[in-house]
Amino acid sequence: MPANLTPQFIKARERSHKATTPEEKLAALEDMLATIPKHKGTTKMVGDIRKQIGKLRDVSLRAKKGRGGGTGYDHVAKEGAGQAVLVGAPNSGKSSLVAALTNARPEVADYPFSTLVPVPGMMRFEDVPMQLVDLPPLSVEYTEPWVYSLIRAADVALIVLGLDELDLLEGRLEEILLWIEERRIELVVDRLSSEEGADHVIQVPARIVLTKADLVRDAATVLAGLPFPGVAVSALSGKGLDGFARMTFDALKVIRIYTKLPGKKPDLKEPYALPAGSTALDAVRIVHGEFAERLKYVRIWGSGRFDGQQVPSDYRLADGDIVEIHVG
């Protein structure tokens, strides 16, 4: 081969691919850098190795700095209508999904532990932006504790399972559910409360995402046997990605509300995302705080009402309603 790689280098590269902790991976990468023949043909490889080493050093440095006060990764500021985190085994296709649906570019690789920090990106369902967060994998060998903090804080946990390993799928799911439960997270279809219970158990809505749907014929049958609602997707072919965005939006349990003042046109490009069950007064409070005290009634365009009908301020809004605000 033109790069003339040495056996020492090839061994180090194998170790880097099999590494089960960031420390092991860093050590292997450093050996790779030390043993790679340096000439024109390997310039790009050297650059890639240096980049990976830089990233890992940055991670361990931050982890040290944050000792006692968390690693610095145990919080991802929420943006948009809500936050969905991707939870799954190494190589299940989480990063590919984030890369396919958002502006973020997490590393996609065919070896485990390529994602070492949470990577948030924004995806859209129709006119609603939502946050999708790529997490490092859950695995027997090694999972950073802050990964579970991020699952606790999420609005939705998306459990990602690869259809390329069909025979391992149910076992993987069971394992993941068990580890999550051990961290006092109760995965539910619909949550009753977002507050932590007295026993420190917190409910997090969960959905299933079967990835690599381009590889199997009948993903629907697989889905039917699983304990949470889900979708099958392929980041490769694009199959199911619209359904994925819709499912995530539905699981967030938010409604889109547009507001307008009498005689003005509503802004139909940027809806407000409010918790399902919000009233007209809630919407006015959030959108035009100064009008809340003076609110008399609103007119509604949209759900199951005559367009422009007058309703009281405690009227429960539906997804897509346009609210015209009348103050006294």
State the residues that interact with Mg ion by CB under 5 A. Answer: 95, 115
Determine the residue type at 110.
Answer: D
Return the number of the residue (201 or 220) whose C-beta is nearest ligand GDP.
220
Of ligand GDP, Mg ion, none, which one does residue 92 interact with (CB within 5 to 8 Å by kind)?
A: ligand GDP
Residue 256 · residue 319 · CB < 8 Å: yes
Please say which residue, 99 or 298, places its beta carbon nearer to Mg ion.
Answer: 99
Under the criterion CB under 6 A, does residue 95 sit at the interface with ligand GDP? yes
For the bound state, the minimum distance from the C-beta of residue 89 to ligand GDP, rounded and expressed in Å, comes to: 7
Partner whose footprint covers residue 230, from Mg ion, ligand GDP, none (CB < 5 to 8 Å by kind) = none
- Binding flag, residue 214, ligand GDP (CB under 6 A): yes
Is residue 240 a contact point for ligand GDP (CB under 6 A)?
no
Check binding of 82 to ligand GDP (CB under 6 A).
no
Q: Which member of 110, 190, 307, 314 binds ligand GDP (CB under 6 A)?
A: 110
- Alpha carbons 19 and 28: distance in angstroms, whole number: 8
What is the three-class DSSP state of 239? coil
In the bound state with ligand GDP, the residue whose beta carbon lies nearer, of 124 and 239, is: 239
Q: Is 16 in the site for ligand GDP (CB under 6 A)?
A: no
- 268-273-276 Cα angle (round to 5): 120
List, in order, residues 6 or more apart from 13 with CB less than 8 Å away.
28, 32
Nearest distance in Å: CB 122, Mg ion: 18
Continuous H helices in the chain: 7-18, 22-35, 43-65, 94-101, 145-153, 169-182, 219-224, 241-252, 280-287
Report the residue from 212, 282, 300, 315 that binds ligand GDP according to the rule CB under 6 A: 212
- Considering CB distances under 5 to 8 angstroms, the limit depending on partner class, which of Mg ion, ligand GDP, none binds residue 16? none
The only residue of 45, 84, 108, 208 in contact with ligand GDP, by rule CB under 6 A = 108
Q: Sign (positive/negative) of CA torsion 224, 124, 102, 22?
A: negative
Q: Interface with ligand GDP includes 90 (CB under 6 A)?
A: yes
Stretch that binds ligand GDP, among 46-54, 83-91, 222-230, 263-271 (CB under 6 A): 83-91
DSSP string, 106-119: ----SSS----S-E
Residues 247-276 contacting ligand GDP, CB under 6 A: none
In whole angstroms, give the CA distance from residue 9 to residue 160: 33
Quick one: what does residue 52 bind among Mg ion, ligand GDP, none, with the CB cut-off 5 to 8 Å set by partner type? none
Number of other residues whose CB lies within 10 A of the CB of residue 196: 12
Q: Given candidates 131, 234, 248, 278, which one binds ligand GDP under the rule CB under 6 A?
A: 234
- How many residues at the interface with ligand GDP, by CB under 6 A? 21
Q: What angle do CA 115, 137, 248 make, to 5 degrees?
A: 95
Distance CA 46, CA 144 (A): 28
CA atoms 100, 106, 109, 111: torsion sign: negative
For the bound state, the minimum distance from the C-beta of residue 92 to ligand GDP, rounded and expressed in Å, comes to 4
What's the rounded Cα separation, in Å, for the pair 290 and 120?
A: 33
Q: Taken in order 298, 302, 304, 305, is the CA torsion positive or negative?
A: positive
Q: Which is nearer to Mg ion, 82 or 118 (CB)?
A: 118
Q: Which is nearer to ligand GDP, 90 or 271 (CB)?
A: 90
CB 119 within 8 A of CB 98: yes
Q: Rounded to the nearest whole angstrom, what is the least distance from the CB of residue 304 to ligand GDP in the complex?
A: 39
Residues in touch with ligand GDP (CB under 6 A) = 88, 90-96, 108-110, 114-115, 137, 211-212, 214-215, 234-236
